[in-house]
């Protein structure tokens, strides 16, 4: 039989290798930025168009390349950074595999201009799908410029696989931030479709973090510093009260390289043990320096995972040093999450004279008629119960006359305490159990409603209706709210602005790092605004949906989740009733927006069976 094995031609091998190195435009951004850093540039510009799909360009003022190197750098395994395997253990550069440029050139149109400082003239090369198109001598500034156009032009399947511009842009920002955070002494600028998104002058680490993540970040940060034989740690962690809902601002750098490590993340979380709300995520920017021979960076092609020789010691040191910082800056003991903000003295009371208390007696007061209204329901227009709900009750009135005569959670109350009207309505009586479920009798037996899920459904449908008919009412704020966000969060908000306005938000102005809100939806209170927006941003981690319909859907879901009454909240009778009526007035009362059942029913026969045992 004849032999069938062949060596793959270089351009095919490169295309295959590219699959590993270049998943998306952000991978190109990472490789080009890292090359510029390795070339010891002090000024690096990143220019992208259409989320990198049309163009990724990096311009640096680094060492540049000779004519020969300019040609060689596109060969596979062509690197100036290591010469032998041992060099891997004393690595001080980002790159070392010599694969990035070969891979990128195999799947895009690349134009490179490069000049070394001491040379008069530089080299200008165009290479498309691994084929050299042209090479010229050119007058150029010192440094290197790589322009990568039409990524995946020759692999349509990969190109089609790319996500929306919003998602791809997010990934690019992530990569940019990682490199910029690792090198605060380098000047970085970043342009997207002609607008300047970041301009980060050379600075201290703290300033760099603040420049990237908005001015508000400064007050949140607590420094961490520790030096031992096996690791030196420096950086910042956030005070627990500024913990966020998402993991967006968590960074580890090892020897100036961004890495991911579930194990080290665990060490940080352990340091915060007991001082964070459930599910809250601290921000951290931690820089570990270890001897290069105690780590192995080679275990992942994109080099974001590394192996440490002595993980356990590292864990213990990291945890202890963060604990120490949190303690030293006195952040640990002062936490009281359940503090009721209603107990704070409002500002305008501060300067008022004390008034003599007077006593007023309301003769009509009936402790059982109606409790203080819950804010969530006070603005809530009671919908007409639909046939759904009424049908559950049909035939009930005649055969249940006992229902109004007791309350299950409180002590027993006799009918004389209820006024006539209530007895009349006793048919709609509801009871709250364990501040979680609302129980009511229906024709066939009983219904048990999950208050949180039911309210999510009610709010979700309300928001959706408001947004689709564009007529949400909004409450004007006396003092506009200033809310600070990182620039990537600001981008998300800008994209969602229209949909948010449809829910009732009124935006006064948008700046680079904060928004000013002068009106908010009626069912949101002022103190909930930042919570609602934070939750929304966290829900949008995976990108903003493309269509405006699904955008509205995401916003409505997220806001319903933030604003719905939670399990554990006491509801007055009126509120319970409104909620149950509201639920059954919904288009789809059976499930929450997150597809969980909102209520169950139990038939009398089922109960009978239980008692028959």
Q: Which residue ranges make up the site for ligand ADP (CB under 6 A)?
A: 31, 35-36, 39, 60, 62-65, 73, 78-81, 95-101, 144
Least gap, CB of 75 to ligand ADP (angstroms)? 8
Work out which of 58, 73, 100, 197 binds Mg ion, going by CB under 5 A.
100
Least gap, CB of 261 to Mg ion (angstroms)? 22
Reference 153, options 130, 182, 183; nearest CA is: 130
Q: Which does 60 bind (CB under 5 to 8 A by kind): ligand ADP, Mg ion, none?
A: ligand ADP
List strands edge to edge, sheet with 445-450: 430-433, 437-442, 445-450, 599-603
Work out which of 27, 35, 217, 486 binds Mg ion, going by CB under 5 A.
35
Q: Quick check: helix, strand or coil at residue 475?
A: strand
DSSP 3-state helix, strand, coil percentages of the chain (rounded to 5)?
Answer: 40, 20, 40
Q: Which does 18 bind (CB under 5 to 8 A by kind): Mg ion, ligand ADP, none?
A: none
Give the whole-angstrom CA distance, residue 233 versus residue 225.
5
Least gap, CB of 34 to Mg ion (angstroms)? 5
Least gap, CB of 253 to ligand ADP (angstroms)? 18
Q: Does 519 bind Mg ion (CB under 5 A)?
A: no
If the CB atoms of residues 193 and 304 are measured against ligand ADP, the closer one turns out to be 304
CA distances from 150 to 45, 134, 164, 420 (A): 19, 18, 16, 77
Least gap, CB of 25 to Mg ion (angstroms)? 16
If the CB atoms of residues 98 and 383 are measured against Mg ion, the closer one turns out to be 98
For residue 361 the two structure tokens come to 């007696």
If the CB atoms of residues 33 and 536 are measured against ligand ADP, the closer one turns out to be 33
Least gap, CB of 214 to ligand ADP (angstroms)? 30
Looking at beta carbons, which residue is closest to ligand ADP?
A: 95
Q: Would you list the DSSP string of 257-272?
A: EEE--HHHHHHHHHHT
Give the whole-angstrom CA distance, residue 407 versus residue 426.
12
Q: Which range in 100-108, 230-238, 542-550, 587-595 contacts Mg ion by CB under 5 A?
A: 100-108
Q: Quick check: helix, strand or coil at residue 214?
A: coil
Q: Which does 106 bind (CB under 5 to 8 A by kind): ligand ADP, Mg ion, none?
A: none
If the CB atoms of residues 95 and 589 are measured against ligand ADP, the closer one turns out to be 95
Q: How far is CA 555 from the centre of its chain?
A: 14
Reference 290, options 255, 240, 327; nearest CA is: 255
If the CB atoms of residues 62 and 248 are measured against ligand ADP, the closer one turns out to be 62
Least gap, CB of 216 to Mg ion (angstroms)? 35
Looking at beta carbons, which residue is closest to Mg ion?
A: 95
Q: Which range in 89-97, 204-212, 526-534, 550-558 contacts Mg ion by CB under 5 A?
A: 89-97
Total residues contacting Mg ion (rule CB under 5 A)? 3
Least gap, CB of 36 to ligand ADP (angstroms)? 5
Tokens 């201290």, residue? 204
Question: Under 8 Å CB-to-CB from 428, ≥6 apart: which residues?
Answer: 393, 440, 577
For residue 409 the two structure tokens come to 């959670």
Using CB under 5 A as the binding rule, the residues of this chain from 66 to 85 that contact Mg ion are none
Which region holds residue 472: left if phi is over 0, alpha if psi is between -120 and 50, else beta? Answer: beta
Q: Does 493 bind Mg ion (CB under 5 A)?
A: no
Q: Quick check: helix, strand or coil at residue 254?
A: strand
Give contact residues for Mg ion (rule: CB under 5 A): 35, 95, 100
């Amino acid at each position: 039989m004849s032999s069938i094995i062949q060596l793959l031609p270089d351009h095919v091998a490169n295309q295959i290798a590219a699959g590993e190195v270049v998943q998306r435009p952000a991978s190109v951004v990472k490789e080009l930025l890292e090359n510029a850093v390795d070339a010891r540039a002090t000024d690096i510009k990143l220019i992208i168009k259409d989320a990198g799909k049309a163009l990724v360009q990096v311009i640096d003022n680094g060492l540049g390349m000779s004519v020969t190197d300019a040609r060689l750098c596109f060969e596979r395994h062509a690197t100036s950074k290591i010469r032998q395997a041992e060099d891997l253990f004393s690595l001080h550069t980002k790159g070392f595999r010599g694969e990035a440029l070969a891979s990128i050139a195999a799947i895009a149109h690349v134009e490179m201009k490069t000049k070394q400082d001491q040379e008069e003239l530089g080299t200008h090369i165009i290479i498309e799908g691994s084929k050299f198109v042209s090479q010229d001598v050119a007058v150029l500034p010192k440094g290197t410029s790589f322009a990568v156009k039409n990524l995946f032009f020759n692999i349509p399947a990969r190109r089609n696989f790319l996500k929306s511009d919003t998602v791809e842009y997010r990934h690019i920002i992530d990569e940019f931030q990682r490199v910029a955070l690792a090198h605060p002494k380098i000047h970085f600028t970043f342009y997207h479709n002609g607008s300047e998104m970041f301009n980060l002058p050379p600075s201290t680490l703290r300033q760099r973090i603040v420049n990237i993540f908005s001015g508000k970040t400064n007050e949140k940060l607590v420094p961490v510093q520790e030096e031992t034989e096996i690791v030196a740690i420096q950086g910042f962690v956030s005070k627990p009260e500024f913990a966020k809902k998402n993991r967006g601002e968590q960074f580890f750098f090892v020897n100036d390289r961004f890495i991911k490590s579930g194990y080290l993340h665990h060490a940080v979380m352990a340091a915060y043990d007991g001082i964070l709300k459930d599910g809250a995520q601290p921000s951290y920017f931690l820089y570990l320096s270890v001897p290069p021979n105690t780590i192995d960076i080679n275990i992942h092609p994109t080099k974001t995972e590394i192996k440490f020789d002595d993980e356990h010691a590292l864990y213990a040191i990291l945890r202890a040093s963060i604990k120490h910082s949190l303690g030293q800056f006195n952040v640990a003991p002062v936490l009281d999450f359940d503090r009721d903000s209603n107990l704070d003295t409002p500002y305008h009371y501060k300067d008022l004279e004390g008034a003599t208390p007077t006593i007023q007696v309301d003769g009509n007061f009936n402790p059982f008629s109606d409790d203080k209204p819950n804010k969530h329901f006070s603005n809530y227009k009671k919908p007409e119960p639909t046939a759904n709900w009424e049908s559950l009750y049909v035939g009930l009135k005649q055969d249940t006359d006992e229902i109004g005569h007791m309350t299950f959670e409180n002590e027993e109350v006799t009918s004389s305490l209820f006024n006539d009207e209530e007895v009349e309505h006793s048919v709609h009586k509801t009871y709250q159990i364990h501040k979680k479920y609302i129980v009511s009798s229906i024709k066939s037996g009983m219904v048990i409603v999950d208050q949180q899920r039911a309210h999510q459904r009610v709010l979700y449908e309300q928001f959706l209706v408001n947004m689709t008919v564009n007529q949400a009412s909004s409450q004007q704020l006396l003092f506009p709210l200033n809310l600070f966000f990182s620039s990537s969060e600001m981008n998300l908000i800008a994209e969602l602005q229209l949909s948010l306005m449809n829910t009732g938000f009124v935006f006064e102005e948008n700046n680079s790092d904060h928004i000013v809100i002068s009106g908010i939806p009626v069912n949101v209170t002022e103190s909930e605004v930042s919570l609602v927006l934070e939750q929304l941003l966290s829900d949008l981690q995976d990108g903003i949906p493309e269509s405006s319909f699904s955008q509205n859907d995401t916003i409505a879901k997220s806001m319903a989740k933030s604003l719905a009454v939670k399990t554990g909240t006491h509801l007055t009778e009126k509120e319970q009733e409104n909620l149950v009526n509201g639920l059954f007035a919904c288009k789809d009362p059976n499930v929450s927006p997150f597809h969980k059942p909102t209520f169950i029913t139990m038939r009398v026969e089922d109960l009978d069976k239980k008692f028959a045992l």
